[in-house]
Amino acid sequence: MSSPPRPVPDPDISGAPFWEAAARHELVLQTCASCGTIRHPPRPMCPACNSMEYTFEQASGRGRIWSWVIAHAPVLPSFAQKVPYNVVVVELDEGVRMVGNLFDVDNDAIEEGMPVTVDFDDVEEGVSLPVWRPQ
């Protein structure tokens, strides 16, 4: 019996531009067209001014490790070969936080505040996930 496929993002209408940009290896952030507040994850309404208008702007792709966990038990069969793996929360230079995996760093060497830069993991045709590497 083969294992089920790795789950991939299933974007809603607000999040689709983020994932379309990721597939092009570009990191973008939803930005309120009325007041300029940057928000992530994408959602329909600005929490600062209630505007429904927004754009997606190029992000710096840089940030720092804000928090992390090490997964030791696979929660899904498609991740069984990856344990133990890290899941990090990166605080981007733009001030929003993003969840992903940190590559090229031993799990026990991850530190709070570690500077990281974005890269993209091509997980299937047309689907790339933002991941992080040390700066």
Which residues lie near Zn ion (CB under 5 A)? 32, 34-35, 37, 46, 48-49, 51
Closer residue to Zn ion, CB minimum distance, 48 or 69: 48
* Nearer residue to Zn ion within complex by CB, 16 or 52: 52
CA 71 to mean position of chain CA atoms:
17
- Closest approach, Cβ 91 to Zn ion, in A, equals 20
CB of 44 to Zn ion, least distance (A): 12
Cα 101 to Cα 56, 83, 91, 116, distances in angstroms: 23, 12, 13, 11
- Per 3-state DSSP, the chain is made up of helix, strand and coil in percentages (nearest 5) of 10, 40, 50
Cβ distance to Zn ion smaller for residue 55 or 135? 55
